[in-house]
Structure 1
Amino acid sequence: MQKPIRRLSDYLRMIKFSHSLFALPFAGVALVQLLYYDPSVLERSDFLKLLAGIVICMVAMRSAAMGFNRIVDRRFDAANPRTANREIPSGTISLSSAVFFVVLFLAIFVAAAFWIQPLAGWLSPIPIIVTLGYSFTKRFTCLCHLVLGLALGLVPPAVWVAVAGTITIEPLLWMLGVAFYTAGFDILYASQDLEFDRNVGLRSIPARFGLSKAFWIARSFHLLSFLTFVSVALLAGTGWFFAFTLAVVGGLFVFQHVLVGNGRLDRIPIAFFNVNAAISAVIFIGLLVDRFILPGFL
């Protein structure tokens, strides 16, 4: 019994399953808005199927993407002291097992997308191409962070299409906000490997511009993200509680950059996971309260 559990733990570590907290709340944001605009969605006979399909797609796509990234980066990971103990370089998970894992979860993703509705299924190659393609971008462009941002940013419009079967400006604005939010914290995370990336010829904003300028670019991206979230709130006509929520989010953005200020790279793991997970969760909870919970008390 212990061996299967240990193997499962190895795979969960390989795909950084806990980091799903960054993306899942933004799927929830799109769903909350759709339910607000059309409460009858809750009464649809296939609502639970929609909900299950969205969760399955999210978990499957992210699992496949992380596994694929570990496969294509395995030689760089082995050479980097910070990542040498990852599952593939260390031999904990074999290359063939990792490939099977990725193919399996890609198949699950596509099947779940078609299960939700045919349109979602036919559009499923788009997130696959963008998300898997990100793993190669660091080899030729320092804008790789924005590609990762786009990969996560596709979550709100994907949910919108899955549930409503159409697209509007609002989920596209959510996509833009999530893209800049993700790119900003990915720049901070990449700062840990600045010298390694330069030595092996990998591209990143920290490797291209240096630590100080990279931190300013990350701040600019997070400012753009915040302004986009404000714009979508104004467009959607959210209430005072979501305005308060965005003020908290702005504070978290500032806190994150204060935390890693003056080149405190040792604090980046805290800023990367704890603060960023808090930002996405706060946005989702704040919107949920603003749209459905608070009106019932007032």
Structure 2
Amino acid sequence: MSASPVVARPTAKTLLDLVKFEHTVFALPFAYAGMLLASMQFRGTGWPGLGTALWVTLAMASARTAAMAANRIIDAAIDARNPRTAGREIPAGKVSARQAWALVIVSLLLMGLASWQLGPLCLTLMPLAVVFLIGYPYTKRFTWLCHLWLGVTDGAAAAGGWIAVTGRFDAGAWLLWLVVIAWMVGLDIIYATMDYNFDRANGIRSVPARFGIAPALRIAAVSHALTFALLLAVGLAVGASFWYFLAALAMGGILLYEHRLVNPGDLTRANIAFFDANMWLALTMLGGVIIDVLWRTLT
């Protein structure tokens, strides 16, 4: 039996590519938004302190890195069979499973350190968070509700930002969590349309594979309509200013634009809808919250 090929030590860029580190921009702005809104709500100022901000950043970035690296390891065999993903770092031999697991372990240690610094509740919830982070790639092997699992997992970032400041769950934390759940469910369904044929042929569960592309896009649209309604509910719950609601209106426009990019007969722009539109939505959320808390602090 031939020996397994030895993979050279990957560069930092290769490891960043492995976990698509630039996609951290999806969840991290919502974590910051939760942190800033909680600070405004309970401290009368939108700034929670440099220490809290840094630990929240480390917790969220390391959690996502661990989740993505584990996802790539667990799905390596599936990725190798899928023409769209065969060039990913593990199937292409750029990163070994052992090297990726090392990245997972280091990331989880950093996440644990940050959780410890952010208070007892964050540390207590960490094991449950790890189950959701690592469990996602397994869900699509047995249920088309995998998108909901991902939404719950990513939504914890927004709630986590709030809890890092208050040390408890409040209505604002729950509403922010629901916002991200609804948003992520919709965008992950759109993303899954790109693998519709492969998923059906290989028994991978997803909403498009289960119901078809056209119904899946309608479900995604309903999910994003709910996202917009929940964004408004967050503003009402925290007593946000006009500037927050203006940003929410802009986010509603971005979601509408996202759905105009894709249709059952043309999915060529699905990747743009997934990454570009949602990147701008997350940044708009953060920008709106920053302006809102500054306005309320200074007036």
Q: TM-score range by the shorter chain?
A: over 0.9
State the shift of 1:51 in Å. Answer: 1.6
Find the aligned partners of 1:213 and 1:190 in 2 and give their Cα distance: 13
Q: Which of 209, 226, 239 is matched with 1:237 structurally?
A: 239
1:122 CA displacement:
2.0
**Residue 122 of structure 1 corresponds to which residue in structure 2?**
124
Q: Structure 1, residues 163-197: CA drift from partner, whole Å, max 9, x if none?
A: 21111111101101110101100000010001101
Q: Does 1:9 align with 2:13?
A: yes
Aligned mate of 2:38, from 31, 34, 40: 34
Match of 1:180 in 2: 182
Q: Is the 8 A contact 1:49 1:116 kept in 2?
A: no
Q: Which runs of 4+ in 1 moved over 4 A?
A: 40-44
* Per-residue deviation, residues 255-275 of structure 1 (Å, max 9, x unmatched): 000011343211011111110
Structure 2: how far apart are the matches of 1:92 and 1:256?
Answer: 33
Contact preservation (8 Å) 1:249, 1:282: yes
Q: Deviation digits for residues 7-51 of structure 1, max 9, x if unmatched?
A: 11111011000001100110111111122123477898xx32222
3-state SS of paired residue (1:147): helix
Aligned AA for 1:108? Answer: L
Whichever residue aligns with residue 96 of structure 1, its letter is R
SS of residue matched to 2:91: helix
Segments of 5+ residues of structure 2 without an aligned counterpart are 1-7
TM-score normalised per structure 1: 0.93
Report the 3-state secondary structure (helix = DSSP H, G, I; strand = E; otherwise coil) of the residue aligned with 2:272: helix
**Which range moves more in the overlay, 126-135 or 185-194?**
126-135
3-state SS of 1:263 partner: coil
User: With structure 2 as the length reference, what TM-score do the two structures score?
Assistant: 0.93
Q: Aligned pair in 2 of structure 1 residues 136, 230: CA closer, same or farther (>3 Å)?
A: same
Task: For structure 1, list consecutive stretches of 5 or more residues without a partner in the other structure.
Answer: none
SS at match of 2:112: helix
More RCO (CA 8 Å, sep 6+): 2
**How many residues were matched structurally?**
292
Tell me the distance in 2 between the aligned counterparts of 1:240 and 1:54.
27
Q: In structure 2, do the counterparts of structure 1 residues 263 and 22 end up closer, same or farther at CA, with 3 Å as the change threshold?
A: farther
1:173-252 matched pairs, under 5 angstroms: 173-252=175-254
The letter for the 2-side match of 1:185 is L
RMSD over aligned CA atoms reads 1.9
Distance 2:38 2:121 in 1: 18
| Alpha-carbon distance, 1:295 to partner | 6.4
Match in the other structure for 2:265: 263
**Conserved? CA contact 1:211–1:263, under 8 Å:** no
Letter in 1 for 2:33: V
Summarize the Cα distance change of 1:253–1:42 in structure 2 as closer, same or farther, 3 Å threshold: closer
Deviates further, 29-38 or 135-144 = 29-38
